[in-house]
Amino acid sequence: MMDPSKHVQRDAKIPLCRQEIKEAIEQDLAGDPGILAVFYGGSIGNGDADQYSTIDLRIIVADEAFDQYWADKQNRAGRWGNILFFKEVAHLNYSTAHYEPFVKVDIFYYRLKDILPSFWLRNIEVFYDSTGILVDIVSKSRQLTYKPSVEDIDLWRTKFFASLHEWYRGMMRSEYYYALNCLDHLRLFMAMGWYMEAGIQPNALGDWAKIEGHRSPLQSWQLDELASWDSSRNPDHMMIVVPKVVEAFKKVHQSLCAQVGLDENRAWVENIIRKVL
């Protein structure tokens, strides 16, 4: 059983340890001839980092040096502190270093051509910019506003429908953890719908970061409704919760369709839902 008091003293030191690692990063990368720019995204870039926030490190590398720097990423991260373990996913441009003081650093390497104005680059903390490219990128990014497209809403609703049908299949097979995972997707799709309704870029599927808690952009009633959909893997619990999520989906779906000019097609939606409820 987890003891919340076990790591209180260690956790109280995390912000200081994170700052020490951040300073080591900056000392190591500043003036490196192969590095064009370094900036922080995520909570540090937004200015809302808390005790457990990750260092979201973005490094722009000269094209001719990129392969060398990418191959050496683990050794480089080892200069910044004592690494506990390193997580890497093949074919992606980022990796994660977990350090001994319980500090995590997500490390992204980019070529210059990869950095374009983006909603996600509106709020970043620039540490190093040898060419001045980030000044223009940030300026153009801050002029962008998020508005969901017809394609966004259509993809969102069909993914919701697919998760709903998969939830039913899991229930019928007594695969209750699988069904619970599908229910989790339904809850996340609802949060994504609320985000889009408010003109906020939603998280990627599977990413619950900042959806709950004091940093959430959701309204209090939305957070309350989200919390009310709590469920265990007990099939009786899930059969109570899922219809409630579906009813909430219908309301948001209607609103989003009106917002982007997409045919709500209520009869079609009801037919899809009736296949399982």
Instruction: Look up the domain containing 108 and give its range.
Output: 8-141
The answer to whether residue 3 sits within a structural domain is no
Closest of 169, 147, 148 to residue 157, by C-alpha: 148
For residues 67 and 89, state if they share a domain.
Answer: yes
Judge whether 234 lies within some domain. yes
Establish if 265 belongs to a structural domain: yes
Residues 14 and 130 in one domain: yes
Same domain flag for 206 and 251: yes
- Do 62 and 182 lie in one domain? The reply is no
Instruction: Tell me, yes or no, whether 94 and 39 share the same domain.
Output: yes
Q: Same structural domain for residues 87 and 200?
A: no
The residue out of 92, 118, 141 marking a domain boundary is 141
- Is 2 inside any structural domain? no
Q: Which CATH number is 98's domain given?
A: 3.30.460.10
Do 108 and 165 lie in one domain? The reply is: no
What are the 10-residue block averages of pLDDT along the chain, 277 residues in total? 86 97 96 95 93 96 95 96 93 91 96 92 94 92 92 97 98 98 98 96 89 94 98 97 98 98 96 97
pTM: 0.85
Mark whether 133 and 103 lie in a shared domain: yes
Domain boundary among 82, 112, 141: 141
Alpha-carbon gap, residue 195 to 202, rounded angstroms = 6
Question: In terms of domains, do 96 and 156 share one?
Answer: no
Domain boundary among 74, 109, 141: 141
CATH number at residue 232: 1.20.120.330
Say which residues have a Cβ less than 8 Å from residue 277's Cβ, sequence separation at least 6.
242, 243, 246
Q: How many domains does the chain have?
A: 2
| DSSP of the chain | ---TTTTHHHHHTHHHHHHHHHHHHHHHHTT-TTEEEEEE-HHHHHT---TT--EEEEEEE-GGGHHHHHHTHHHHHHTTS-EEEEEE-TTSSEEEEEETTTEEEEEEEEEGGG----GGGSS-EEEEESSSHHHHHHHHHTT------HHHHHHHHHHHHHHHHHHHHHHHTT-HHHHHHHHHHHHHHHHHHHHHHTT-PPPPTT--TTTSSTT--S-HHHHHHHHHT---S-HHHHHHHHHHHHHHHHHHHHHHHHHHT----HHHHHHHHHTT-
Residues 75 and 180 in one domain: no
**Same-domain check for residues 155 and 249:** yes
Residues 136 and 16 reside in one and the same domain: yes
